Structure formats: C-alpha cells, structure tokens
Structure 1
C-alpha cells in the first residue's frame, strides 16, 4: 500500500532541481517543470496543490503549502524559511491584463499581449498568507508579514505588518516574538544533536 506522500526515492524520480531532508509532497500534487523547483528541509506540500516551475520556484525550510494552493513560477517565486501558504492561496508571478487592451490566455504571442504583467514574487522569512488569498506578480512580502484571509495583495508589504482586504492594506503590527521562538527552537535542535 502506497503512503500519501512520495518516498525519498520517488522524490528523486520527480526530477526536482534539489530537495532536502524531511520533504513531504502529496501524491495528489501537480508539478510542472520540476527541474526549476528547489526545496529545502522540513517542507510539506499538501493535496491538490500545483507547483508550476517556470523560471523557478525556491522553497526554503520549515514551510507548509496547504491544500489547494497554487504557485505559478513563470517569473520566479521565492518562499524563505518559516513562511507558508494557508489553503486555497494563489501566487502569480505572471498575469494577463483583463482591461480589454490585451489578448488573454497563453495562446497569443507577446505582441498581442501588451499589458501582460510579470515579476518575481518573494515571501520573506516568517511570512504567512491567509486562506483564499492571492499575491500578484512582482510583489515582495517583507519579513514577518501576515496576510489576512481572502485578501488580494497588489503592492509590496512592509515588514512585520498584518495586511488584509481587497486590495490588502496594513491594518496593524505583527508581533516579532517569532524571532525569539525560532532561536529557542534552534537551540533545542542543537541540544538534541
């Protein structure tokens, strides 16, 4: 009987650019352009997620990508350590222009898509994106940012803020206790070695 997550040998067979220790990827995840995807240590990618490598997806360590989340890495996506996606999140590093001034869908050459938007998306350390949220191309979420449920991130978010809404706006400060907790966690790991 097969387990819910790929074994280490099966992960090697996926053709990922790189992956570390304790990587759990559900058998129900769709992976495209695997050779452009790098994954750190202690990462979990849950059921029905899509990882579309494109230019590249770099996933750090201690990260969970929750069910039904999608990462479109066409122009690059970076998730730094201790960041994560709640269920039903979408990260777009490229997007069509729906204004009517540009053709839509992947079938058309660039000259027919003058409004096409692209740019790397970066989630800095400790960032958490809340359930049902979307992050648009070219956005950087600063260290410690939390995005509230069902938000649309259209602009960069400054560090240690909680952002929510459509479009997402800073609504309050986020505690930096995470930094202290990480230090304690690392100290405990060293003591166990």
Structure 2
C-alpha cells in the first residue's frame, strides 16, 4: 500500500540564524538533552513509522553522517532554496502517495503531528496544514496529485504558492508546530 512520507528540509544556509549571532550550523546546535536540533526532528519523524527522506547539502557531512547512523535515506542537493529542495525530494520519492514537508529546525513537531497529517491525506484531503491559534505551522501535507507541481518548485518560497485556502484542511495543534530555530535563543528549547 502506498503511503505519504515525510520530507525533512536540511539544506538551508541558516542565514537568519547567523545574522542574529548564531554560530555554526543551527541544525547541529545541541539541545538541553545533548542531542542536536536535527537529531530531535529526525527522531520524531522516524518514530511516526512513515517513509522519510532527508534533503541536505553535499558539503554538510555531519548531517549526512547523522542520517546514515539513523538509517534515514538522504539526498544531497546544492539547493538555492527550499523550493529546489522540495522538488528534488519529490522527484526522488515519486512512489509515495503524498508528502509531509517540514523544515529540519522544527524539533517540537511530534510523532503524533506527523501521523495526524498523514491520516488526513489518507482520508482524502488534498492539502493539510497544522496550525496553532490560526498561525500556520508544519508539517504541511500534499496529496499525490501535487507531485508534478511540487517537483517543479524553485526558489526559497517552498510550496506556499500551491496552497489553496478553498481546499486546505487546517488542523489545530500545539504551539510546537509553529516554532523554528531561526534565532539562536530558540535552538535550546527542549
């Protein structure tokens, strides 16, 4: 049976993080439990039981090693933005019945969050987004019918342009679905 899978985006340059004084790759910033931000994100996604693909940059050896140690498939893309990363991942996973897209710096998205979005797609939703107090969050889910459009994305706007408010199913969730680590003070919240 075909199932939706999770794309974790880890090919960004962390520009906002570095401009705000952060050092190194924010995805590798250690949390209070001594795991990296990305390791926590991957752990939640992997525990969901859904297929998983990590998209990172060719020069991010430590991230590629982390994926290898956790037996998580990964592709390396010299991406110019999240749109290109999503396109490469969708092209690599054409056999999936849908895609849950999530940035790698959102370690507060839970296994249950992934499962809720996947279940909504399996139940026939075409687009799904978790929200907290009407603020858009992640992951964002797209049905298989969006495969071609997702595989043609470019730039750094991700899949926002494909979202249609008339068919987007919003699911209320917790505050963790909107928290990312663009600022140094948010990388140590566990």
Q: Which one has a larger percent helix, Structure 1 or Structure 2?
A: 2
Q: Which one has a larger percent strand, Structure 1 or Structure 2?
A: 1
Q: Same fold (TM over 0.5)?
A: no
> What TM-score, normalized to structure 1?
0.25
Largest Rg, 1 or 2: 1
